[in-house]
Structure 1
Amino acid sequence: MPVEPATRIAYLLRMLSSTLNQQIERALRPLDLTQAQLAALAQLAISAPARLSSAELGRRAGVTPQAMWSAISNLEHRGLVRRSPHPTHGRVLEIAITEVGSSVLEQAQELTAPVDAHAMATLTEAEKRQFRSLLLKTMTGLGIPHPDPGRG
């Protein structure tokens, strides 16, 4: 007998993720940003003043190195990030966010905040904390890197 999809956590997360992704993409349209680009800007801002490689940004954003390379190329063309050679690894390019990139990141976070708020609107503050905690534990269990839960 088939299992009811709504009882499977993977199904529920897939549906939630798909809907959130669509809403975030719509929210980012005025800035002409993709989610990969937003993730790159956010990771670079968190890491600043340290610089990150495209491969590391891809890992942190959960996208392929090729997808991140494309995202970074677009961001660099727009002056939102800059690439420079690694001081000791000649083939590695390090990426840093620019002031303009920081400003665009702030705008993007303002545009996408209502998506988060809407998604969590039916939960109490205690349920929101618990939900975040459970998601982070699940990510840890799957070996997915995530930000420190104490950082907001």
Structure 2
Amino acid sequence: MLFNPRDRLLYLIRMVSGALTQEMERALRPVQLTQVQLGVLVLSGLDGPQTAAELARRCGVTAQSMATAVKQLEDRGLIARRPHLDRGRALLIDVTDAGRDLAVEAQRLVEGVNAKALALLQPGDADELHRLLMALATGLGYSAGR
């Protein structure tokens, strides 16, 4: 028996995620950043230096995708890499002042996407949706923190 995909949570989350990702990528074009690159700048800026593996996990991308994002950010002088004192060959990625400034500008651009999506909800529904999504994420083992 086939099920209508619109009746499945996974399908709906994927459709919403896809639509919001496209909107974010469009919003970030003026500053020439991808969503993953913005994630690197913001997470490093908020939580301090991290390895590429940690950032990949937190951004939900593969190690290869993270390596590409990190290289592009480093080429633009938006991040710096330095040896991790406790982990042998691992490198820590840290946001530079220029990267922090660009992240602030990029977050302003992306805020419009967030506001547009939230405007589609009834008053009070945004907080409830956030609570439910966090419960799902936590229950499935995702942690936005370190």
TM-score bucket of the superposed structures, by smaller chain:
over 0.9
Unmatched tracts of structure 1, length 5 or more: none
8 A contact 1:84–1:94 mirrored in 2: yes
SS in 1 for 2:124: helix
Which whole-Å CA distance do the structure 1 matches of 2:61 and 2:21 have between them? 14
Which whole-Å CA distance do the structure 1 matches of 2:47 and 2:144 have between them? 13
Aligned structure 1 segments of 4 or more residues deviating by more than 3 angstroms: none
8 A contact 1:139–1:146 mirrored in 2: no
Picking from 118, 121, 128, the partner of 1:120 is: 118
Picking from 137, 140, 143, the partner of 2:138 is: 140
Amino acid at match of 1:83: R
Equivalence for 1:11: 11
Report 1 or 2 for greater relative contact order, CA contacts < 8 Å, sequence distance ≥ 6.
2
Which whole-Å CA distance do the structure 2 matches of 1:123 and 1:81 have between them? 37
CA drift of 1:99 comes to: 0.6
Picking from 90, 103, 106, the partner of 2:104 is: 106
Q: Deviations over 1:67-104 (max 9, x none)?
A: 11110111011011000111233311111111100000
Between the two proteins, the alignment pairs up a number of residues equal to 146
Identity fraction in percent: 42
Unmatched tracts of structure 2, length 5 or more: none
TM-score with structure 2 length normalisation? 0.94
Which whole-Å CA distance do the structure 1 matches of 2:15 and 2:87 have between them? 42
TM-score with structure 1 length normalisation? 0.91
Give the alignment of 1:12-91 within 5 angstroms: 12-48=12-48, 51-91=49-89
**CA-atom RMSD, angstroms?**
1.4
